[in-house]
Amino acid sequence: MIPNSNFLKTQLGLRIIESINCVETETVERTWKERLFSWPWKPRLRTKQIFKPAAYIIKDTLVCHPSYADRLRKEFRAAPSYRGHNKEE
């Protein structure tokens, strides 16, 4: 059985809510190469925004980006059996 949100809620006490707006923003400096050779050409812009998936726990609820939830489910699938719930049938 492949773990899903119901499994995580019943066995681990977590409920997962997926939101595409759940991201963290990081500002990084652009290199000279990127500033001079990127299209559209904007050499004066020194920084750019990078968006990373994030996860927050609120009581018994995990609010996370969909890619983060997929990675979490894959890790549960690969983990040793938890009370026999992810055995191959």
55 DSSP assignment: E
**pLDDT at residue 1, rounded to an integer:** 36
Has this prediction a pTM greater than 0.85? no
Q: How confident is the model at residue 20 (pLDDT cuts 50, 70, 90)?
A: very high
Domain-embedded: residue 87 = no
**Count of structural domains within the chain:** 1
- Considering only 15-19, 58-62, 69-73, 77-81, which range has the smallest mean pLDDT? 77-81
Name the β-bridge partners of 51. 25
Q: With a cut of 90, say whether residue 88 has pLDDT above it.
A: no
- Residue-wise pLDDT tens digits, 42-64: 899 999 999 999 999 888 888 99
Domain-embedded: residue 83 = no
Cα(40)–Cα(42) distance, rounded to whole angstroms?
6
Provide the residue range defining the domain that includes 47.
5-78
